[in-house]
């Protein structure tokens, strides 16, 4: 058995029964704080809920069960002693505003650079609420589906927590599938592009020797892996957990349903007492709740609903273009209609955005362009011009579709149909609360007809052939 610090039962996380949840008040229409009913798995209305347990101190030496009232008394005294440091947690989280921008999160400069370079502009609902408590050292349960930007939540928080000068493994991310583990590793490495950080994916199906070599060499600060391979590496003494700051369980419900429970519990026993635990899960079945009770200390619970976007009130049309070459002429014919208000034209690649913007300009149409290869300054400038209305037509890749809400856009054109169905609603959906009317026009080549049908079914919506008098609808 490895000589690492093993958490036996005495180190088992203090159960939540010992730290009762306390009801809070509603502080915004979309952020509700209250205690979960035992065993309940209901999502409240509104996009996000933030629930905080009654404040216990952050020092993990009390991770195990309290032995007696004396221990409890010590804890109270200790907590009181640190009062100025933390403030009263319950109060603090009741009043905690979502961070509307990445700039407001007090992140490292180099991390911020990486976030913007990656193409993020504005934090999603879950990012606005979950990054800060994790950075502050709290255990966090985030209930959110994929498509809400959860990978970036734990990636950004982990990179902020990391000590770049240390070569030890400081963050462990566990995922249910190899693909997901690799994706998390890629996202983290990309967001940490300007930092001195090394993330390694440890997954089954890839050479074990390679993992052993990487870890022996040292300097891997983040390990993203599947439970089986990670536990194997801990057992071989090659993954040292002694200085781990945070363990992230991504898609915890999936991991448990795939039968990884024992390995996860085995890995948990090797965490140092001060280690923070973050759990991401789309659903919270009893097996996941049980795990949070065992592993987590006074966790904050954040619930985010994915359906912040709606297609209601948006008229959707398609124009049949036999081949790719016809799209350009079709767009030129529509140009006068576009400029009645403001329009965004989506292409699937950065190259295509540049090409189309150039070609439009050559034909004396005024357009601006935006994609992820541009530096932040350029992007800000383009956005500013578009927001102020001095530019009317914006050609963009899907980054633009995520979380940027320009009120006056009432026409969206998919020059290319999106490569996956989820992107469609990000392009043309509107936040329900703005209730904006709008028009979406999809250019559909012969081979795209199936994809269009697929999108219609996925959203149970109707996309009709565009009528000749489209400008009358605006």
Band (pLDDT 50/70/90 cuts) for residue 77 is very low
Q: How many CB atoms lie within 10 A of CB 310?
A: 17
Whether 199 contacts 248, CB under 8 Å: no
Query: Cα(200)–Cα(189) distance, rounded to whole angstroms?
Result: 9
Q: What share of the chain is helix, strand, coil (3-state, %, to 5)?
A: 40, 15, 40
439 contacts: CB under 8 Å, gap ≥ 6:
314, 315, 316, 317, 410, 411, 412, 470, 473, 474
Please report the pLDDT score of residue 404 as a whole number: 55
288 or 306, which is more confident: 288
What CA–CA distance (Å, rounded) separates 36 from 22?
A: 9
118 forms beta bridges with: none
| pLDDT reading at 187 higher than 70 | yes
- What pLDDT, in 10s, does the model give residues 89-101? 333 343 367 898 9
d(CA 148, CA 126): 7
Q: In terms of pLDDT, which residue wins out, 52 or 181?
A: 181
Confidence of residue 225 (pLDDT cuts 50, 70, 90): very high
Residue predicted with more confidence, 409 or 229? 229
Q: Per residue, what are the HEC states of 275-335?
A: CEEEEEECCCCHHHHHHHHHHCCCCEEEEECCCCEECCCEEEEEEECCCHHHHHHHHHHHH
What would the mean pLDDT of 299-306 be, rounded to a whole number?
82
Asked whether the beta carbons of 79 and 57 are under 8 A apart, the reply is yes
**Averaged over 148-164, what is the pLDDT?**
93
| Three-state DSSP state, 60 | helix
| Confidence band of 245 (pLDDT split at 50, 70, 90) | very high
Per-residue pLDDT band at 20 (split at 50, 70, 90): very low
What mean pLDDT is predicted for residues 391-405?
Answer: 74
Per-residue pLDDT, 401: 62
**pLDDT at residue 78 is higher than 70:** no
Are the beta carbons of 159 and 191 closer than 8 angstroms? Answer: yes
The domains located in the chain, with CATH, are 9-304 (3.40.50.300), 309-473 (3.40.50.300)
Identify the pLDDT of residue 47. Answer: 37
> Average pLDDT in the 447-464 region?
91
Mean pLDDT score of the chain, rounded to an integer?
78
pLDDT in tens, 66-76: 333 333 332 33
Does residue 42 contact residue 308 with C-beta atoms inside 8 Å? no
Taking the C-alpha atoms of residue 227 and residue 240, their distance in angstroms, rounded to an integer, is 15
* In contact, 47 and 125? CB cutoff 8 Å: yes
DSSP string, 159-228: HHH--TT--S--EEEE-SSHHHHHHHHHHHHHHTTTSS--EEEE-TTS-HHHHHHHHHH----EEEE-HH
Residue 379 corresponds to which tokens in the numbers above? Answer: 């992007």
Percent of the chain with pLDDT over 70: 73
**What is the reported pLDDT for 407?**
57
Query: Rounded CA gap, 283 and 143, in Å?
Result: 7
What's the CA angle centered on 421, arms 420 and 426, to 5 degrees?
100
Q: What is the mean pLDDT of residues 409-421?
A: 87
| Tens digits of residue pLDDT in 321-371 | 988 999 999 999 888 877 777 889 999 999 999 999 999 999 988 899 988
């Amino acid at each position: 058995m490895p000589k690492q610090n093993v958490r036996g039962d005495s180190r088992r996380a203090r159960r939540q029964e010992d730290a009762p949840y306390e009801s809070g008040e509603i502080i915004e229409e979309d952020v509700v704080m209250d205690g979960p009913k035992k065993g309940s798995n209901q999502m409240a209305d509104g996009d996000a809920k933030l629930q905080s347990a009654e404040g216990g101190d952050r020092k993990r030496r009390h991770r195990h069960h309290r032995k007696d009232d004396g221990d409890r008394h010590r804890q109270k005294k200790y907590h009181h002693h640190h009062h100025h440091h933390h403030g009263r947690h319950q109060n603090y989280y009741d009043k905690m505003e979502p961070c509307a921008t990445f700039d407001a999160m007090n992140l490292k400069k180099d991390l911020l650079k990486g976030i913007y370079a990656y193409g993020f502009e504005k934090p999603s609902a879950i990012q606005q609420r979950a990054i800060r408590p994790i950075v502050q050292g709290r255990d966090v349960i985030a209930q959110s589906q994929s498509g809400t930007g959860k990978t970036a939540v734990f990636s950004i928080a982990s990179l902020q927590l990391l000590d770049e000068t240390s070569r030890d493994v400081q963050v462990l991310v566990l995922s249910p599938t190899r693909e997901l583990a690799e994706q998390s590793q890629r996202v983290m490495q990309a967001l940490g592009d300007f930092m001195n950080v090394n993330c390694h994916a440890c997954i089954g199906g890839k050479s074990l020797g390679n993992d052993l070599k990487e870890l022996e060499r040292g300097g891997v600060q983040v390990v993203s892996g599947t439970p089986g391979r990670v536990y194997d590496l801990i057992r071989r003494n090659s993954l040292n957990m002694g200085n781990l700051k945070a363990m992230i369980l991504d898609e915890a419900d999936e991991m448990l349903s795939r039968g990884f429970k024992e390995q996860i519990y085995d890995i948990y026993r090797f965490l140092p007492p001060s280690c923070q635990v973050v759990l991401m899960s789309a659903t919270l079945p009893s097996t996941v709740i049980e795990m949070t009770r065992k592993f987590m200390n006074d966790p904050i619970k954040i619930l985010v609903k994915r359906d912040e976007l709606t297609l209601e009130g948006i008229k959707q049309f398609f124009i049949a273009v036999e081949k790719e070459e016809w799209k350009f002429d079709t767009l030129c014919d529509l140009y006068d209609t576009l400029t009645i208000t403001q329009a965004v034209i989506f292409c699937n690649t950065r190259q295509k955005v540049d090409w189309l913007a150039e070609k439009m300009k050559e034909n004396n149409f005024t357009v601006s362009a935006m994609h992820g290869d541009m530096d932040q300054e350029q992007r800000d400038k383009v956005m500013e011009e578009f927001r102020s209305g001095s530019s009317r037509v914006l050609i963009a890749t899907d980054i633009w579709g995520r979380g940027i809400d320009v009120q006056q856009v009432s026409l969206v054109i998919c020059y290319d149909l999106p490569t996956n169905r989820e992107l469609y609603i990000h392009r043309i959906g509107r936040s329900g609360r703005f209730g904006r009317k709008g028009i979406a026009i999809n250019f559909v080549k012969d081979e795209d007809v199936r994809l269009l049908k697929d999108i219609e079914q996925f959203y149970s919506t109707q996309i009709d052939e565009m009528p000749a008098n489209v400008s009358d609808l605006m």
